[in-house]
Amino acid sequence: MWWLLGSLCIGIPLILVGLAVGYYVWFMRQEAAREEKLKRRGRVVKAWIVFANDNLYKKNARDNFWPAQVVFTLVEDVRNLDDVLEDLAEEIREFETEDEEDDDERIIGQVVRTEYGYSWPLRIPKRITGRLVAYTSTVDVQCKWLPARRLEEPYIYIKAYVGKDRQDRLARMVPYPDDDDDEDYE
């Protein structure tokens, strides 16, 4: 009987560790596939800050990064883009969920309520955007790419792509277009 108890004490933890390692490997492969799509299909666009970690408004060490919620569109040639993005950011700051069945809308509501980020871009509801297709996402703002190593503008630049499924979307900060930093996001 003791051998049965001993094998259970060793076997169950080994199975749990194996499952955890398997999940980690699967997740990392999914993330690598999204990063590869971002490199191939992503577009660099301006993203307006909705809200950001307070540390971004202070001078930071080069290697620091802090989260910020942003809005952006992949639509080209939007007239008065800065005004449109600024209006969308204001709408998201005041956002309240109206359609609980819409996953993107429900998650946006949770992000705004809790200020707990969600890294996959979420489509902003048409009731806010009209005919424009726009998204909101939490991105890590790399302080090495900020002028003066702090957030001084109401926008950053990101590289983003959007697939059909919510899990097939990605947005990452890139250097400002006039930044001379050689560490560009590939």
Helix axes 103-114, 81-93, angle to 10 degrees: 80
Look at residue 94 in the predicted model and tell me its pLDDT: 94
In the chain, the amino acid numbered 11 is: G
**In the numeric block, which tokens belong to residue 49?**
């800050």
How high is the mean pLDDT of the chain? 87
**Which DSSP string do the residues of 38-72 spell out, in sequence order?**
HHHH-EEEEEEEEEE-GGGGS---TT-EEEEEEEE
Integer Cα distance of 176 and 25 in angstroms: 33
Look at residue 39 in the predicted model and tell me its pLDDT: 85
User: Which of 23-27, 29-33, 34-38, 126-130 has maximum average pLDDT?
Assistant: 126-130
**In the numeric block, which tokens belong to residue 101?**
């069945």
Work out the pLDDT band at 163, boundaries 50, 70, 90.
confident
Q: Where are the alpha helices (DSSP H) in 42-164?
A: 81-93, 103-114, 126-129
User: Please, is 165 exposed, middle or buried when counting C-beta atoms within 10 Å of its C-beta (0-12, 13-18, 19+)?
Assistant: exposed
**In the numeric block, which tokens belong to residue 147?**
């002028």
Integer Cα distance of 144 and 23 in angstroms: 32
Is 43:157 a contact under the CB 8 Å cutoff?
no
CA–chain centroid gap for 98, Å, is: 23
Mean pLDDT across the stretch 132-160?
Answer: 96
**In the numeric block, which tokens belong to residue 118?**
């969600």
Each residue's pLDDT tens digit, 46-96: 999 999 999 999 999 999 999 999 999 999 999 999 999 999 999 999 999
Q: What is the pTM of this model?
A: 0.80
Is 186:39 a contact under the CB 8 Å cutoff?
yes
pLDDT higher than threshold 60 for residue 184: no
Query: How many other CB atoms are there within 10 angstroms of residue 154's CB atom?
Result: 13
